[in-house]
């Protein structure tokens, strides 16, 4: 089950699926509904339970990044495996969205705090 | 040589099946984690393109995937009878997409080219598209114990 929780005023999304065109669309609707209802401006995707992602996931992440930008916030990613990190780099996503080793570091980065 | 053909309805939920079948097909070659992920990702991109772009998400069509193993050379062929690609060079450009409203990243071909050894596209507008990709699955520690992997072109 994909978890969507608020932690330290950040919407934390923890997908537990392989992210492809099919699941990315479902994820997109679930996350947008939760973000819309929440007062959060920042979002974190935790990939600890994701074993696979293709470029549909990249498109979905760019879309959520834009949602947070509209509120003056941002998006950060944590716990990506080596294969996902390669996709993240190849796609150019690394230029706009931070990939950090832990939730606390991601929260600090989104708040502009020292790491 | 070994070969299988998988025909699936053009539904996005079947993309994961194409990945699983591919992973099972190459499992006897004991690919490493990176090779397996590369191949699964490229298959996912090609089959997704066929479903979403070839058929415009119309679920009543068929996507055919043919997997061939010649020694350690994997060939993946994904065919649809959809709308075709009018300008292949343009479609292969990174970030090009005809469907930005669906949050398509336009990276499908870029990913296929990055993760496979070769990617060829044949397409006829109104007739369909065939994407053919190859990748040589390396032998683990091939230079230490088993000698160099056999050149698949000689097989």
Express each pLDDT in A13-72 by its tens digit.
Answer: 999 999 999 999 999 999 999 999 999 999 999 999 999 999 999 999 999 999 999 999
Residue in A55, A67, A54, A60 with CA at minimum distance from that of residue A24: A60
> Digits of tens for pLDDT over chain B (155 positions)?
999 999 999 999 999 999 999 999 999 999 999 999 999 999 999 999 999 999 987 888 999 999 999 999 999 999 999 999 988 888 888 877 877 777 888 899 999 999 999 999 999 999 999 999 999 999 766 544 444 455 555 54
Instruction: Confirm whether B152 is domain-assigned.
Output: no
- Give me the domain span that covers residue A64: 3-114
3-state SS class at A59: helix
Domain that holds residue B85: 2-142
Residue B150 lies in a domain: no
What residues of A are in contact with residue B46 (Cβ under 8 Å)?
A: none
* Reported ipTM: 0.91
Check which CATH number belongs to the domain holding B134 and give it.
Answer: 3.30.565.10
Q: Residue A115's pLDDT is what?
A: 37
Q: What is the CATH number of the domain that holds A42?
A: 3.30.750.24
Number of domains in chain B: 1
- Cα torsion A16, A99, A4, A25: sign: negative
CB within 8 Å: B12 and A20 = yes
Cβ of B37 within 8 Å of Cβ of A83? The answer is yes
Give the three-state DSSP class for A3.
strand
Is B111 within 8 Å of A21 when comparing Cβ atoms?
Answer: no
Q: Please state the domain count of chain A.
A: 1
Considering only the beta carbons, identify the residue of B48, B110, B114 that sits closest to A21. B48
Asked if the structure places residue B44 within a domain, the reply is yes
Average pLDDT value for residue range A108-115: 73
């Amino acid at each position: 089950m994909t978890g969507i929780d608020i932690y330290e005023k950040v919407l934390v999304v923890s997908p537990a699926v392989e992210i492809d065109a099919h699941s990315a669309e479902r994820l997109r609707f679930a996350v947008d509904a939760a973000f819309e209802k929440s007062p959060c401006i920042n979002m974190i995707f935790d990939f600890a339970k994701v074993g696979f992602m293709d470029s549909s996931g990249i498109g979905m992440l760019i879309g959520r990044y834009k949602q947070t930008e509209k509120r003056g916030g941002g998006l950060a990613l944590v716990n990506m495996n080596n294969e996902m990190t390669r996709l993240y780099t190849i796609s150019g996503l690394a230029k706009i969205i931070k990939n950090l080793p832990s939730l606390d570091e991601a929260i600090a980065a989104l708040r502009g705090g020292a790491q | 040589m070994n070969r299988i053909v998988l025909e699936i309805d053009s539904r996005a939920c079947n993309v994961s099946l194409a990945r699983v079948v591919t992973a099972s097909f190459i499992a006897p070659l004991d690919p490493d984690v990176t090779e397996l992920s590369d191949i699964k990702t490229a298959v996912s991109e090609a089959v997704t393109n066929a479903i979403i772009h070839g058929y415009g998400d119309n679920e009543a069509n068929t996507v055919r995937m043919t997997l061939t193993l010649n020694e350690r050379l994997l060939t993946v062929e994904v065919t649809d009878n959809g709308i075709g690609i009018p300008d292949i060079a343009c479609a292969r450009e990174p970030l090009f997409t005809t469907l930005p409203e669906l949050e398509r990243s336009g990276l499908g071909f870029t990913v296929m080219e990055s993760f496979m050894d070769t990617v060829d596209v044949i397409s006829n507008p109104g007739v369909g598209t065939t994407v053919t990709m190859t990748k040589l699955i390396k032998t683990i520690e091939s230079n230490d114990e088993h000698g160099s992997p056999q050149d698949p072109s000689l097989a």
